[in-house]
Amino acid sequence: MSRYRGPLFKKICRLGSLPGLTSKRSRVGNNVRNQSRSIKKSEYRIRLEEKQKLRLHYGLTERQLLKYVRIAAKTKGQTGQVLLQLLEMRLDNIIFRLGMASTIPRARQLVNHRHILVNGHMVNIPSYRCKPRDIITVRDDEKSKTMILNSMDSTSDKEVPNHLILHSVESKGLVNQIIDPTAVGLKINELLVVEYYSRKT
């Protein structure tokens, strides 16, 4: 299954805020109307919606998310928390969280178009897994710097999480540590996602 390219407002009305996918917010009136006619959801539907929320927020295909779930299951620690750490340490997500891009799809585009350097080396793989002490910088090019500065100006009110350090003047970010799962910028029950896949396999 490919990445979702349909209407975004429809998804955030059903699943709630998806800051990685879009900066749009559902209107309060819509939420009240949806709650008033809400029906009891099955356990399967609840798990499915949590999985869809995670997949759409990070802009993953079904195959990519399943791969991350399998890696998390084989890694020491709680599978759900390890899964969130793996997703949060992706390069496209780090750029988004630093405020260098307004959304994760926009961050992915910056990486694909070779505007981003990691430790001084060009990286054009959005799924590149960042590690502590990695330094994220912008290519020494006027066009690249202008695009990043414009994005940082538009997201200047966004709070940078504790596992990252942003030097806005230099358009440089530092990965300080592995993210604490409680600092993930998405309200989600990751255990339901793990349960969804455990029942599918």
Going along the chain from its start, the domains and CATH numbers come out as 8-86+186-200 (1.10.1050.10), 90-177 (3.10.290.10)
Residue 52 has pLDDT above 60, yes or no: yes
pLDDT at position 173 = 93
In angstroms, the CA 120 to CA 94 distance is: 16
Average pLDDT over the chain, rounded to an integer: 83
Amino acid at 122: M
What does the pLDDT average to over 42-52? 90
pLDDT at position 11 = 63
Question: Which of these, 198, 165, 195, 192, lies nearest to 179 by C-alpha position?
Answer: 165
CA atoms within a 13 Å half-sphere pointing along the CA-CB vector of 15: 27
Q: How far apart are the first and last CA of the chain?
A: 17
Please check whether residue 54 is in contact with residue 188, taking contact to mean a CB–CB distance below 8 angstroms: yes
What does the pLDDT average to over 13-22? 66
Quick one: which H or E segment has residue 167? strand 164-167
**For the chain, what percentages of helix, strand and coil (3-state, to nearest 5) are there?**
50, 10, 40
How many CB atoms lie under 10 A from the CB of residue 8?
A: 16
Quick one: which H or E segment has residue 62? helix 62-74
How many CB atoms lie under 10 A from the CB of residue 190?
A: 23
Question: Which of these, 92, 78, 93, lies nearest to 193 by C-alpha position?
Answer: 78
pLDDT at position 7 = 58
User: What residues contact residue 169 under an 8 Å CB cut-off, 6+ apart?
Assistant: none
Question: Which of these, 49, 57, 48, 73, lies nearest to 22 by C-alpha position?
Answer: 57
Which pair of tokens denotes residue 107? 């961050």
Which pair of tokens denotes residue 12? 């955030």
pLDDT at position 115 = 94
pLDDT at position 108 = 93
What does the pLDDT average to over 165-194? 86
In angstroms, the CA 39 to CA 42 distance is: 9
**Coil, helix or strand for 10?**
helix
In angstroms, the CA 171 to CA 100 distance is: 8
pLDDT at position 136 = 95
